[in-house]
Chains A and B, each alone.
Chain A
């Protein structure tokens, strides 16, 4: 039996002048899967995400979402089809409250009454109810990460891309974010880019490693962390 991947890239390439940011990336993710992506700085992880969301038009290759070719579409097309992204640096409406940020996202896909209900439920799910009246721009960085996560899931996307969701969080907050992601994964597929290896261990089932724009390896977390090349180019001397 053949099933169509939720998202698939075929020979995806991106060049910026002389810089080859992604090289022949062939990637598949099934519905309901949680995949972690790791790799050195400059390996092409964020560029890869931007190609999936339409923020960058690939130099060559294809992006297919539920079998539909979305290569080079304007960003609103993947968003409407159900790809949500939490970017590396949170991009919220700083002058609006936490509630308003999440409600605006819910309004994009739900009628007004339902959007209110979804906003309330999402804030509770992410643990932000106590901060709902706070102005987003006044929050600490880690709190803003949670708000952006709430903004993404309020629109109920089929695929959630998270770029460094644990950045700037204390150990306890990292553990809480990991629990939240595992809970979200019960109903959504996710791709998570992260450098915090303790966080990767908490959530990862399968890990894809990028290096110099290409996929270096895809394997289970322990196998990846024991891979000599991964240790050399990424993990370094304190590798677990």
Chain B
């Protein structure tokens, strides 16, 4: 489904991605692990088109999307939940979800209700402004809004950030169910090792803008082993 070849990208004259190769098949869930500043978010931004590559290619369902804008990639079936949520603070929860639905037409109240079957915590909050929700509730809204577009490929940048432990478990369960129900493909950037292990089938390590290896899921419970894979230096 997604074929990334020798992808280079950066900000101005600062290179961040230095030749990423990544091949993901439909229905797969792939975790990306690495320290801060290694290029995890830049990789997701490059896949969705928020950042255009300086070299290399991104193919989605056989189509070269390397030069397409984010809205064009969204129409093809990609969705992105950025770090920091970026919900619309001055729109209600319902209107935030309608914005996610917009490429499919106008969402009815029934559509929203059905969508929220997987996010029951949002149901009592529909009339609240997005900005008035707690951090964790905003994170759930961002995830539900992304799924409103019925994507084939879901890009998640630290979806557990700011969320209480019990809801993290629920999100892991929800993503697993959605993946089976919709054959959803997921790329997950995450620091929560339990979460990445429970959602991902394989976990790739990114270091200084390159994929440097793969961590077997069973090794994610051993922090020392994870440190060996991701590199010992966490200082900037």
Contact = CB atoms under 8 A, between A and B. Distances in A.
A41 B37 contact: no
A46 interface: yes
A235 B165 contact: yes
A146 B169 contact: no
Contact of B164 (A40, A127, A170): A40
A196 B37 CA distance: 21
Nearest to A145: B36
A237 interface: yes
Contacts of A238: 165, 169, 194
B136 A236 contact: no
Interface of B: 11, 14, 33-38, 40-41, 83-84, 128, 132-137, 158, 161-170, 191-194, 223, 226-227, 230, 232, 234-236
Of B36, B232, B235, B236, chain A has the most CB atoms within 10 Å of the CB of B236
Interface string A205-238: 0000000000000000000000000000111111
A42 interface: yes
A213 B11 CA distance: 42
A141 B193 contact: no
Contacts of B230: 170, 172
A88 B135 contact: yes
Nearest to A174: B191
Interface string A151-170: 00000000000001001111
Nearest to B132: A16
B36 A168 contact: yes
A117 interface: no
A116 to B, nearest CB: 21
A234 B137 CA distance: 14
Contacts of A128: 236
Nearest to A132: B236
A233 to B, nearest CB: 8
Given A131-B236, A141-B41, A41 B132 contact: no
Q: What bracket does the count of chain A residues touching chain B fall in?
A: 35 or more
A3 interface: no
A19 B127 CA distance: 12
B136 A42 contact: yes
Contacts of A130: 235-236
Nearest to B84: A89
A164 B223 contact: no
23 contacts: A16-B132, A41-B135, A41-B164, A41-B167, A88-B135, A88-B162, A89-B84, A130-B236, A139-B37, A142-B36, A142-B37, A143-B236, A146-B236, A167-B162, A168-B83, A168-B158, A170-B33, A173-B234, A234-B166, A236-B166, A236-B168, A237-B169, A238-B165
A119 B192 CA distance: 32
Interface string A164-200: 1001111111101000000000000000000111000
A46 B133 CA distance: 11
Contacts of A43: 134
Interface in A112-143: 127-128, 130-131, 138-143
A234 B169 CA distance: 11
Of B35, B162, B193, chain A has the most CB atoms within 10 Å of the CB of B162
A205 B193 CA distance: 25
A176 B165 contact: no
A59 to B, nearest CB: 15
Nearest to B136: A41
A171 B226 contact: yes
Counting from the closest, the 3 A-B pairs by CB-CB distance are: A236-B166, A41-B136, A142-B36
Of A128, A168, A237, chain B has the most CB atoms within 10 Å of the CB of A168
